[in-house]
Amino acid sequence: MHGWIILDKPHGLGSTQAVSAVKRALRQSGAGKWKVGHGGTLDPLATGVLPVAIGEATKLAGRMLDSDKIYDFTCRFGAQTDTLDLEGKVIAESAHRPTLAEVETVLPRFTGPIEQAPPAYSAILIDGQRAYDLARKGEEVEMKTRSVTIHALTVTGHEAEGQGLASVTLTAHVSKGTYIRSLARDIALALGTVGHVTMLRRVKAGPFTLESAISLDKLDEAARGGGFGGLMLPLTAGLDDIPALAVSPDDALALRQGKVLVGKPHTGLMLAMEGDTPVALVEASGPEIRVVRGFNL
């Protein structure tokens, strides 16, 4: 049981709860206890692609955290909440409603490298405490800006209100560390109004898309029917963007022992494969090939 379950996370469920659901399904299927972890937190408000790593695939969860993501989200204009989504209390209001043309004009300002202040209601640590815990206590939370990259930002829908828009739906292709709630807040402010997120759906995380995502109901059904393994993607599915490096049994053994291989000059990350078996994620620099993550398969 080494691979990936790609969940279509439902609204209202936290990422940790989703991981617990996969663990329960594993036990229910008779597979026993396995190490399980997720590859990128999704707010309870958000739905969509949540990669869940099982067994040796958990060694690649960090790569998922560092990967680009694509989100669909709706920003409703006229009110800003303390959580920057529809679950918070209103802290600012505006009667101004931007036009579609104004929205399309301002989006280039939020494309490319930008500075962004994360939401106060986030899991970022401040002096050893989670920001959302401090915010819930009513304490003033100062969030330092961070550099993120918005690779693409496009309008995919809108709802009219009078001569302007009640809301706009966007698709954003973003780097790691990007907060969509902050992006919606800043876009609304740039339009001379305020806003908050009412819908947030992750449609892609690293190489994983909604096409391979399954619901918790389908996962439970498969677990009860003994078909859990059929829903899993192989460990290598998380490394589709990494070139493969074929190694001999002797070289595979050396890599498993943490030894450095010397061979033809290469550069960058590669997946060392002994036949169909992943051996290690390796980093090549010139003729030297060093293990980054070894797999016990």
**Which are the catalytic amino acids?**
43
Q: 159 has which bridge partners?
A: 167
> What ranges make up the beta strands (E) of 162-235?
164-174, 195-205, 208-209, 233-234
User: What's the CA gap between 71 and 48, in Å, rounded?
Assistant: 9
Over the range 2-26, which residues count as b (16 or more CB within 10 Å of their CB) and which as e? bbbbbbbbbeebebeebbebbbebb
Q: How far is CA 43 from each of CA 10, 109, 147, 198, rounded to the nearest angstrom? A: 10, 26, 21, 12
Q: How far is CA 236 from each of CA 11, 67, 164, rounded to the nearest angstrom? A: 29, 15, 48
Within a 10 A sphere around the Cβ of 188, how many other Cβ atoms?
A: 27
User: What's the CA gap between 178 and 41, in Å, rounded?
Assistant: 12
User: What's the CA gap between 170 and 178, in Å, rounded?
Assistant: 15
3-state secondary structure at position 50: strand
User: What's the CA gap between 222 and 50, in Å, rounded?
Assistant: 18
Nearest Cα to Cα of residue 201 among 159, 156, 231: 156
